[in-house]
Homo-oligomer: A and B are copies of this chain.
Amino acid sequence: MSDVRARAQRARLASGLLGRASLERRNEALRRAAAGLREARPALLAANAEDLTRARALLDAGELDASAYQRLKLDAPKVEEMARGLEALASLPDPLGRVDLHRLLDEGLVLERLTVPLGVLAVIFESRPDAAVQIGALAIKSGNAALLKGGAEATGSVGVLVGLLRAALAASGLPEDTLQLLHGRAEVDTVLGLDQDVDLVIPRGSSSLVRSIQARTRIPVLGHAEGICHLYLDAAADPAMAVALVRDGKLQYPSACNAVETVLVHRDRAADLLPALVADLRPRGVELRGCPRCLALDPSLAAATDADWDTEYGAPVLALKVVDDLDGALAHIRRHGSGHTEGIVTGDPEAAARFLAEVDAAGVYHNASTRFADGYRYGFGAEVGISTSRIHARGPVGLEGLVTVKYLLRGHGQCVADYTGPQARSFRHEDL
């Protein structure tokens, strides 16, 4: 306990140094890490092969699922992709020191608000070893320290990757304590209790990981437990567009958080859109589950249960429901949506305007695939995660989710007493 806390406190000191280091130096560390990664590729792939051997045994014993095993695997193209990701991050503008308020409070009394690092992050991720590089690099760029805990099955790969990042920091004259590995669940539990020493927890993994972390800490958690996204096919939906957007939302990457789980269909369009959806999706292997009104139209559908409306399938399964109208769609989304991304397909501008205004979610879309909800697609250059919280950051979060602000006030001896009482001076409040 006290050891982990001491490490978190060293991380804070490291963040202070890193946050005051020049952009050039932070970028140098990222570029050195990219070069180091390419050089160390054989050692990295060897460590990864050992992880895979151990994971294979777990897989065979039924203690690891096949997708986690797949995500664990690194190869030469993935290493190159990681190296390029580091270089791309180095070319992004500095998230630190941005002045977003510069105000003359009174003659010679100048207020400035600028971005500074949050401080200390705790990052808990599952089997993908590249998450260590991605989030470690985001931390370096934004002047934050990070305590990193990867999945047990990726220990060897993550150890090599974090070692490379630390070596790049040291070679650039920056503190190695910026990135520290946590070992074992007990250390994670300790960190989750350090609400004075850790500023933000970033879980990267399944919704059950996120929920379990949210339940165990008072530290703010950036992310989302669930992405239950809806696409509402309105009375005025173009049929070809409706089918294409459902197909993209469901099948382009079914395990993504921004994939569509439930399609709501206006009752006046059920008779033409349901058959079109079935004809398009069933041959592509999508399992379709319908509400009673859907089943009345197409008895070949499986019957959806109440649980379906609250399930993130993460798989080629789609729930279908007929609603009376836009209000019915809004009510369903209010009750079952997770505040992630919701879409309407319609040619009716009024229906679109109401949907965009009334749906309360991080992203609300008109005639576009929910799969666009992503930091890269939004043009942020880097993605910390997607937040369904309303506090601090909402939606896809770029580097600006890893900074806070600090107010600087420069004067020449001004006292508040001079601005109070009958002879009070007035503030000027002029933006500079």
Contact = CB atoms under 8 A, between A and B. Distances in A.
A71 interface: no
A429 B118 contact: no
Given A407-B364, A415-B369, A429 B379 contact: yes
B415 A377 contact: no
Interface string A95-120: 00000000101000101010010110
Contacts of A417: 248, 252
Interface in A381-408: 390-392, 394-396, 404-408
A419 to B, nearest CB: 7
Contacts of A118: 390-391
A356 to B, nearest CB: 5
Interface of A: prevailing SS: mixed
B391 A407 contact: no
A407 B429 CA distance: 31
> Which of A238, A247, A410 neighbours the largest number of chain B CB atoms within 10 Å of its CB?
A410
Contacts of A408: 356, 363-366
A252 B411 CA distance: 18
A406 B394 contact: yes
A377 B252 contact: no
Count identical subunits in the complex: 2
B368 A414 contact: yes
A238 B367 contact: no
A200 interface: yes
A408 B116 CA distance: 28
Interface in A337-389: 345, 352, 356-358, 360-369, 371-373, 377-379
A199 interface: yes
B407 A363 contact: yes
B404 A391 contact: yes
A282 interface: no
A238 B413 contact: yes
A202 to B, nearest CB: 12
Contacts of A248: 415-417
Nearest to A412: B367
A218 interface: yes
B105 A362 contact: no
Nearest to A401: B391
A183 interface: no
A392 B392 contact: yes
A241 interface: yes
Contacts of A352: 410
A74 to B, nearest CB: 21
A67 interface: no
A260 to B, nearest CB: 11
Interface of A: 16, 20, 103, 105, 109, 111, 113, 116, 118-119, 199-200, 214, 218, 220, 238, 240-241, 244-245, 247-248, 252-253, 345, 352, 356-358, 360-369, 371-373, 377-379, 390-392, 394-396, 404-417, 419-420, 427, 429
Instruction: State the 7 A-B residue pairs at the shortest beta-carbon distance, nearest first.
Output: A368-B411, A379-B429, A248-B415, A371-B416, A241-B413, A392-B392, A390-B404
27 contacts: A20-B358, A103-B378, A105-B372, A111-B379, A119-B390, A200-B391, A220-B220, A220-B392, A238-B413, A244-B415, A248-B416, A252-B415, A360-B406, A363-B407, A364-B406, A364-B407, A365-B411, A366-B410, A367-B411, A368-B413, A371-B415, A377-B416, A377-B419, A378-B407, A379-B429, A394-B405, A396-B407
